[in-house]
Chains A and B, each alone.
Chain A
Amino acid sequence: MAYTGVTPSARSRGMVREVQHLLFTVAPGATWILIFLVLPGAYLMGVAFMTNGPYGQPQMPLSLESFRRLAGFGFLGWSPGNLYTLLRSLWQTLVSTGLVVIVAYPVAYYITTCKEKWRPILLLLVVVPSWTNQVIRTFGWMNLLAPGTPLSNLAETFGLIAPNMGLYPSNFAVTLGLVYNFLPFMVLPLYSAFEKLDNAQVEAAQDLFASPVRAFWHAVFPQTLPGLLAGIVLVSIPAFGMYVIPELLGGGKGMMLGNLVANQFGGGSNWPLGAAGAILMLIATFIGLFVMRRLGKRLGGGEEVVI
């Protein structure tokens, strides 16, 4: 064998091949998301800074008019309508997330106490309703809460609602719809947190603390925090931007930010205003993600929070 000496190109050839491979595998998907999501998103943000044209189309010059309109300043002076919508969105998100947590905790815990072979089936039972289309699920609630249904009649006899009004449309119906919609998103991460739970610690806690409530608070709850945080992200972010549920169950007084935004692209259209609302929603989303991530990192198990 003749020794031909140095082959300095071997390293660089390998590098070129690696980069080619990276491009071949990653570029199609990355480009797709860039062109069909990042670019449209950037354009939408641009629209927010344009002026509303006669048919709701954005046009020059650039202005902050749409943000003023979003804050409630119109031709007729300030009106609180949009502000109410925004506050209602926050309130609904808060209440429904809280309720989801309260319902999901015992459910997730119950599943972990069952025999191992049953657990996937029980989980599936919780998840399956969310496989049906959101519109159909919400339609189911419309059927249940309409005037004259047993539930509405019951509420009527307790004097909770006026006669023949039905439980929907109302803010209550929206909250109910949100809880229904997002329950599985909370049960799943909580379940996996419970499953990993250190049982010895729980038993030790049951020895140490007389009451199961205190045992739960000191031994169980801290360990399920990463799962809880993941669940809160999964529930609150889409809840804040929800469109279908308030549109069908809320009526005019149950409108949320999602409806305000969507309406600007439908009949009474004002694209820049809608785009400004979308920016608000994005900011809320990223703040939510950021806060959860930071909290998650502090509590450990940060990677789980980001799913």
Chain B
Amino acid sequence: MRKRTLRRGLVGFWWLTLTFLYLPLAVVVLFSFNAANSAATFTGISLRWYRQLLGNEQIVSAFVNSMILAITSSAIALVIGSLIGYGMYRHRHRKLGWLIVLIYLPIVLPDIVFGISEMVFFVRIYDLTGLFRPGLVTMIIAHVTFQIPFVGLIVYSRFVGLDPTLFEAAKDLYAAPVKRVIHFMLPTIKPALISAFFLSFTLSVDDFVISFFTAGPESATLPIYIWGAIKKGVSPEINAIAALMIGAVAIAAFLSLLFSQRRRT
């Protein structure tokens, strides 16, 4: 009897929490279709804010910047991070404490400290040498810095999960070093590489603080544009961009679910 009450309470709490988690997102999506120019009252369905988006050059360029930033930084981090992940695995019997500290540093550092460190540094270097003008390049550098540890750790844990004699079997079966990488290592860790890339991509798109402090005047990304628009005063247009980004996340979630379900069967 008491058990059933407890169970009902749990189920109720679960749905309450889900409502809490999705209500703000749902409101954004709902008001993106609002016919009225209001954040408080919903007057009818309309696509006017979406039409306005397409005509807004700033938004289009912010979208392009976001994509360039996310794809480029994820690709660079994938290469460097995989190397470090493999190095950590191959040399795991050595004392690599300093490396572990270095790897965890970008993860544990508060975003704001991370962001202003980069900003102060790039501004200083630019003053001194004219290099690293704040813009997409500095943003890519900063993003790669916080993506490397995640890629490294994912790749490392994939390697740790493998039977170590597989490496020896590959050598034993006449695979020269380069062939070993192409025909054994890369195919074996392919799932880890894919998820590392998507995580990097998500982290990049999700980031605001670090981007904000390393961006230049022409390199605003979508979150930075939205931030600026919110600060200037809420416009329903933001609901439309935000709704599109939420939609992208929903699709990504659905795909990741499909992917993981298929891998299990």
Contact surface of A with B, Cβ cutoff 8 Å: 18, 21-22, 24-26, 28-30, 32-34, 36-41, 43-44, 47, 103, 106-107, 109-110, 113, 120-121, 124-126, 128-129, 131-137, 139-144, 146-149, 180, 183, 212, 237-238, 240-244, 248, 258, 261-262, 265, 271, 274-275, 278, 281-282, 285, 289, 306-307
Judged by DSSP, the binding face of A is: helix
A22-B87, A29-B84, A139-B230 are contacts. A243–B18 as well, Cβ < 8 Å? Answer: no
Chain A: minimal CB distance from B110 (Å)? 3
The interface residues of chain B lying within 8 Å CB-to-CB of A307 are: 107
Judged by DSSP, the binding face of B is: helix
9 interchain pairs, CB-CB under 8 A: A30-B99, A33-B145, A36-B144, A38-B102, A40-B120, A41-B109, A132-B206, A133-B222, A149-B39
Closest to A243 in B: B112
Question: Which of A120, A143, A240 makes the CB contact (< 8 A) with B260?
Answer: A120
A32:B80 contact, CB within 8 angstroms: yes
The interface residues of chain B lying within 8 Å CB-to-CB of A131 are: 202, 206, 249, 252-253
The interface residues of chain A lying within 8 Å CB-to-CB of B124 are: 43
Quick check: is B205 within 8 A (CB to CB) of the other chain?
A: yes
A26-B87, A128-B250 are contacts. A285–B108 as well, Cβ < 8 Å? Answer: yes
A18-B91, A41-B117 are contacts. A107–B112 as well, Cβ < 8 Å? Answer: no
B116:A274 contact, CB within 8 angstroms: yes
Question: Which of A25, A212, A258 makes the CB contact (< 8 A) with B110?
Answer: A258
Chain B: minimal CB distance from A283 (Å)? 11
Quick check: is B50 within 8 A (CB to CB) of the other chain?
A: no
The interface residues of chain B lying within 8 Å CB-to-CB of A132 are: 25, 206, 245-246, 249
Contact with A along B101-116 (1 / 0, CB 8 A): 0111111111111101
Quick check: is B242 within 8 A (CB to CB) of the other chain?
A: yes
B106:A33 contact, CB within 8 angstroms: yes
A103-B17, A113-B10, A180-B21 are contacts. A37–B27 as well, Cβ < 8 Å? Answer: no
Question: Which of B112, B122, B148 makes the CB contact (< 8 A) with A32?
Answer: B148
Chain B: minimal CB distance from A9 (Å)? 21
Contact with A along B18-50 (1 / 0, CB 8 A): 101111110110010000000111000000000
Quick check: is B68 within 8 A (CB to CB) of the other chain?
A: no
Chain B: minimal CB distance from A80 (Å)? 23
The interface residues of chain B lying within 8 Å CB-to-CB of A142 are: 230, 234
Closest to B25 in A: A140
Q: In whole angstroms, how far apart are the Cα atoms of A33 and B141 in the complex? A: 10
Question: Which of B22, B91, B102, B227 makes the CB contact (< 8 A) with A129?
Answer: B22
Contact surface of B with A, Cβ cutoff 8 Å: 2, 6-7, 10-11, 13-14, 17-18, 20-25, 27-28, 31, 39-41, 80-81, 83-84, 86-88, 90-91, 94, 99, 102-114, 116-122, 124, 141-142, 144-145, 148-149, 152, 202, 205-206, 208-209, 213, 222-223, 226-227, 230, 234, 238-239, 242, 245-246, 249-250, 252-253, 256-257, 260-261
Q: In whole angstroms, how far apart are the Cα atoms of A240 and B206 in the complex? A: 19
Closest 8 CB pairs of A and B: A140-B24, A25-B87, A241-B110, A40-B121, A29-B84, A26-B87, A40-B117, A148-B40
Closest to A261 in B: B112
Name which of A40, A106, A281 has the most chain B CB atoms within 10 A of its CB: A40
A26-B87, A120-B257, A124-B256 are contacts. A265–B141 as well, Cβ < 8 Å? Answer: no
A237:B226 contact, CB within 8 angstroms: no
Closest to B243 in A: A136
B116:A262 contact, CB within 8 angstroms: yes
A25-B90, A110-B13, A124-B253 are contacts. A43–B120 as well, Cβ < 8 Å? Answer: yes
B226:A135 contact, CB within 8 angstroms: yes
Q: In whole angstroms, how far apart are the Cα atoms of A146 and B41 in the complex? A: 11
A41:B208 contact, CB within 8 angstroms: no
A41:B113 contact, CB within 8 angstroms: yes
The interface residues of chain A lying within 8 Å CB-to-CB of B230 are: 135, 139, 142, 248
A133:B223 contact, CB within 8 angstroms: yes
A129:B81 contact, CB within 8 angstroms: no
A34-B102, A140-B27 are contacts. A241–B22 as well, Cβ < 8 Å? Answer: no
Name which of B107, B124, B142 has the most chain A CB atoms within 10 A of its CB: B124
Q: In whole angstroms, how far apart are the Cα atoms of A28 and B103 in the complex? A: 12
